[in-house]
Amino acid sequence: MERITKYSGLKKRSVEMKNFLKGLSQEIPSNLPDGGRNIHSEREEASRMSSELASCANYLVFHNYYTIEEIRLAKTITCKKHLLCPFCAARRAAKQVEKNGDRIKKVLSENKNLIPVMITLTVKNGDDLQERFEHIKTSFKKLQEKRRDALRGKTETEFTKVQGSMFSYEVTNKGNGWHPHIHMIALLDDYIDQGKLSREWEAITKDSKIVDIRKITSKSGQALDISDALLEVFKYALKFSDLDLELTWEAYRTLKGKRLLGAFGNLYGSNLEPTTMLDDLLDDLPYLEMFYKYSKHLGSYELKTTTKKEPIGQAETLLTQRPKLSGILKKPENPPAKNVLIPLPQIRGIKPKLSRLDQYLEDNKEIENDQ
């Protein structure tokens, strides 16, 4: 299964990252500038992240809905550290595409005049990731503020043609410094003059005029499919293939906790962060439950068991229709009062215990005789 091959590669990189962090947590870095890093804190964090990666996606349970030839991920345990774990990054991206694709299609269907495009904004590379990230973040904030002012009639900008957008920050490093950039899907009410927007962006950033705008078109005349564009926006915030393990760790420590996704305009309020890494399941269809376990020796997932299952709804119906078992103890129709003591049988000369009424008469025989 192609999906298993892909997940095996992602898990393998995750295991490599886990081993790197485990080694880092056991050594003391040297030749550090005074006050440059909190070594104790970094070692503790490396140890903690190594443990979380170690327990991530060790098994996968799929539901193979063979009647419609569709396979969905039903069970697994994930670390949700998408800046460190390629598996979690991939699952997060897939869920974001799934949940937000319908939102964009709905807006487009209600506004036939809107033009979907991909826009990429960049800044100059640099050695300091923290500084470069804050630079592009601040620059993009200024561009958004200029758009708001233009909508109020205070200024002009090509960016007012963007009626709604979903965007994300991505960071790469191919050996010539950190390269942060922004990918966005934008819905335009008119085509943007790329030259004008490029000059606006350069005036804001002071170091980059690179602005790429591409219209999202349908494939081979088919209905518009924005999945590829969404994948570009929601793909990994870190391009793991461009980063070695040490650079990945540096990027994680710099970007953790920062907001890397956003939306505005008529796409504001989109559900950007998924609530689960699992697929939505189909309860009304039979399926094969396929259990995979990751093998460190093979560096891939192995299929361990396959079990045929009935639809969940049908299984519940069968349970409710089961005949009642015979021999179940029933409550007597006229049970004795709670305050009545039942006499116990005579055992080895032990005097039986009387009811309260009989005990009263036994203790007050003289009263009965007087009468």
Q: Are residue 39 and residue 188 in the same domain, yes or no?
A: no
Identify whether 364 is part of a domain.
Answer: no
Q: Are residue 126 and residue 209 in the same domain, yes or no?
A: yes
Looking at residue 317, what is its pLDDT?
A: 54
Q: Is the pTM of this model over 0.95?
A: no
CATH code for the domain in which residue 61 is found: 2.60.40
Same domain as 298, residue 265 = no
CA torsion sign for 72, 277, 21, 254 is: positive
Q: Is residue 321 part of a domain?
A: no
Burial of 178 (0-12, 13-18, 19+ CB in 10 A): buried
How far is residue 199's CA from residue 159's CA, in Å, rounded to a whole number? 12
- From first to last of the 371 residues of the chain, give the pLDDT tens digit: 789 999 999 999 999 999 999 998 887 555 455 555 556 688 889 999 999 999 999 999 999 999 999 999 999 999 999 999 999 999 998 888 888 888 888 898 899 999 999 999 999 999 999 999 999 999 999 999 999 999 999 999 999 999 999 999 999 998 899 999 999 999 999 999 999 999 999 999 999 999 999 988 766 555 556 777 777 777 766 677 778 999 999 999 999 999 998 999 999 877 667 888 999 999 999 999 999 999 999 999 999 999 999 987 665 555 555 555 555 555 556 665 555 544 545 545 555 555 555 655 566 655 445 44
Which tokens go with 5? Answer: 């091959």
Domain that holds residue 141: 92-276
From 276, 294, 323, the end of a domain falls on 276
User: Read out DSSP for 49-94?
Assistant: HHHHHHTSSSEEEEEEETTTTEEEEEE------TTT-HHHHHHHHH
Residue 117 main-chain phi, psi, to 5 deg: -135, 160
Pairing relationship of beta strands 211-215 and 162-172 according to DSSP bridges = unpaired
Q: How many helices (H) and strands (E) does the chain have?
A: 10, 9
Residue 270 has φ and ψ, to the nearest 5°, of -65, 150
pLDDT value of position 164:
94
d(CA 37, CA 76): 35
What's the Rg (C-alpha) of the chain? 34
> Is 332 part of a structural domain of the chain?
no
Q: How many domains does the chain have?
A: 2
Contact between residue 99 and residue 274 where contact means Cβ atoms under 8 Å apart: yes
Contact 244, 255 (CB under 8 A): no
CA atoms within 13 A on the CB side of 29: 17
Contact (Cβ atoms closer than 8 angstroms) between residue 219 and residue 226 = no
96 and 67 fall within a common domain: no
